[in-house]
Structures are given as C-alpha cells and as structure tokens.
Amino acid sequence: MRTKMRAFQFLFGIIFFLSPFSGKADYPRPWQMYYQEPVTPVMDHIYDFHRTLLFIEGSIVLLVAALLIFVIVRFRARKNPAPSPTSHNTLLEMVWTAIPVLVLAFIAFPSIKLLYMMDVTPKAQLTIKAIGNQWYWTYEYPDHNIRFDSNMLPDNQIKAGQFRLLEVDNRVVVPVNTNVRIITTSSDVIHSWAVPAFGVKRDSVPGRLNETWFNVRKEGVYYGQCSELCGVKHGFMPIVVEAVTQDKFNQWLASKKSAPQTHKGG
Ligand SMILES: [Cu+2]
C-alpha cells in the first residue's frame, strides 16, 4: 500500500513539474515552457484554470491507463482460455456515461465564468485604440488626443537589453492598477493584438471594433506579437506595453502631447 501511494505521488509530481510553475517571465526566454508570469486578474484566472484542467486530465490519463493495464494482465488469454460471453451491463454503462458528463459540467462552470470575465470590461479608466496595419500598429489615446505608430526596431538599432524582433520604436505606455480598455480594429487585413502576460488576445478586424481589457498590477515591460497570420511580415509587428506609475504616465502623456504627432497608418 505504501509503495502504491509513493508511485501515485511520483506520477502527480511529474504532472505538476510540467505545469506552469516552471516558466515565469514577462517575455519569452530560451527553452521556456508554459506561461509568462501573470500580471493581470484575467491571466491569474487563466493560469489557475489551466492548472485545474491539467490535474483533472492527468487523473483521467492515470485512471484509464491503470484500468487498461489491469484488464490486459487480469484477462490475458493464457489465464482465461474461455472468455466470458458478457456483452452488456446496464449499470456499468450508465456509470461510464454519467461520470464524463459530470466531469465536463464541473469544467464548464469555471470555463464560462472565465470567458465572461475576459469579455466584459469593468469600468474603464483609460481607453486605447490599437489599429493593425501591414505591418505595424497605430495607437490612439482618444481621451488625450495622442496618436502614434509603433514599428519594430530593425536589428541594427537594437540596444543592449532589448529583444530582437520584439522591441518597437514607440511603446504603449499604461499606468499600473488601472482598468485599461483596448479597442482594436485594422486598416487592411485581420491582425490580432495579444500580450501573453496579460491574458489578452483580440482579433483586429477591418471595419469592426473589438474590445478587451487588462489591469496590470506590476510595473514592467511586457511583450506580445501580432497573433493572426496577416502577410509576409506578420512576424515583424510586435507589441510592447510599458506599465508605469500614474506619475510617470502623466509625464509620458505630457511629453507625447508636446511632441509632433507623426503617423502614417490607420
Ligand atoms: Cu498582423
């Protein structure tokens, strides 16, 4: 009994080792597996939900594998030369239908709750419009009359500490602990505005406004990429969001307002 328990703990240990505890980062790292560090309430819930699902799925895999091994060993031809003619068992069939239904129902409730949380923006304190173009982003802060383009930095302009293919010339700046509403659309084809650490990914569709939101609790720089195949330079229109204190955000607003408003897209 003791050794059986040990074996079980070992197998669950492997499952949890593979769970997202390992890869904590707000940007992609070499050999990273699983999620970046969650910094918004939505991403917290995605992270927890993923772990719950992994536990349920892992348990099902173990249970089914154990049953298979049991049947293979217990009913092998050498031990059972005359197999049982049983073909139906009503109770058993009801049980193995009902249990998966209950498992699915158990998963459905938190899943729908999470979808609703991602979909409905709580009272927004800041609105940013993200317009996808082939192949860069245009950002507007409608309440502050700011509009600028954000282009990927070419390799020869990357400075130390910056990431190749992920850094841009104009970052999106947002204050921390603020409900930020992202309204996204496109000027040409379908793009997708996505930042993994925020748990945000929304398609930018021409002629349509899609909405999503985030509330970053930690200052830092967060990286994302266009996540809808949009043409030859799809991989070269990254998204960089800098989360700063309210004071620094106000300074940034002032500097942006006094700067000449140059943009070509959207
Ligand atoms: Cu794109």
Q: Which is more confident, 21 or 150?
A: 150
pLDDT tens-digit series, residues 75-107: 998 988 888 888 899 999 999 999 999 999 999
Query: Tokens 């996505």 sit at which residue?
Result: 194
Count: domains in the chain = 2
Residue 110 Cα to ligand 1 midpoint, Å, equals 31
Whether residue 10 is found in the same domain as residue 106: yes
The answer to whether residue 263 sits within a structural domain is: no
Whether residue 144 is found in the same domain as residue 224: yes
The answer to whether residue 101 sits within a structural domain is: yes
Q: What is the mean pLDDT of the chain?
A: 88
Phi/psi at 131 (nearest 5 deg)?
-110, 120
Residue 105 Cα to ligand 1 midpoint, Å, equals 36
Domain containing residue 108: 2-81+88-119
Residue 232 Cα to ligand 1 midpoint, Å, equals 9
Q: Is the pTM of this model over 0.85?
A: no
Whether residue 105 is found in the same domain as residue 141: no
Inter-axis angle of helices 2-17 and 41-74, nearest 10:
140
Residue 183 Cα to ligand 1 midpoint, Å, equals 15
The answer to whether residue 138 sits within a structural domain is: yes
Does 262 score more than 70 pLDDT?
A: no
How far is 38 from 102, CA to CA, in rounded Å?
A: 30
CATH number, domain with residue 211? 2.60.40.420
Whether residue 250 is found in the same domain as residue 143: yes
Query: Tokens 């240990």 sit at which residue?
Result: 13
Residue 68 Cα to ligand 1 midpoint, Å, equals 47
The answer to whether residue 265 sits within a structural domain is: no
Residue 10 Cα to ligand 1 midpoint, Å, equals 44
Residue 119 Cα to ligand 1 midpoint, Å, equals 22
* Element counts in the chain: helices (H) and strands (E): 4, 10
Q: Is 190 exposed, middle or buried (0-12, 13-18, 19+ CB in 10 A)?
A: middle
Residue 118 Cα to ligand 1 midpoint, Å, equals 22
pLDDT tens-digit series, residues 182-209: 999 999 999 999 999 999 999 999 999 9
Residue 169 Cα to ligand 1 midpoint, Å, equals 17
Residue 189 Cα to ligand 1 midpoint, Å, equals 8
pLDDT on residue 80: 86
- Residues of 60-98 as b/e, b for ≥16 C-beta within 10 angstroms? eeeeeeeeeeeeeeeeeeeeeeeeeeeeeeeeeeeeeee
Q: Which is more confident, 164 or 24?
A: 164
Residue 230 Cα to ligand 1 midpoint, Å, equals 5
Residue 203 Cα to ligand 1 midpoint, Å, equals 9
Residue 236 Cα to ligand 1 midpoint, Å, equals 8
The answer to whether residue 266 sits within a structural domain is: no
Does 146 score more than 50 pLDDT?
A: yes
**CA-based Rg of the chain, rounded to a whole angstrom?**
25
Residue 149 Cα to ligand 1 midpoint, Å, equals 14
pLDDT on residue 24: 41
How far is 165 from 172, CA to CA, in rounded Å?
A: 16
pLDDT tens-digit series, residues 214-236: 999 999 999 999 999 999 999 99
Residue 9 Cα to ligand 1 midpoint, Å, equals 45
Residue 107 Cα to ligand 1 midpoint, Å, equals 33
Whether residue 108 is found in the same domain as residue 230: no
Q: In this structure, what token pair is assigned to residue 265?
A: 């897209």
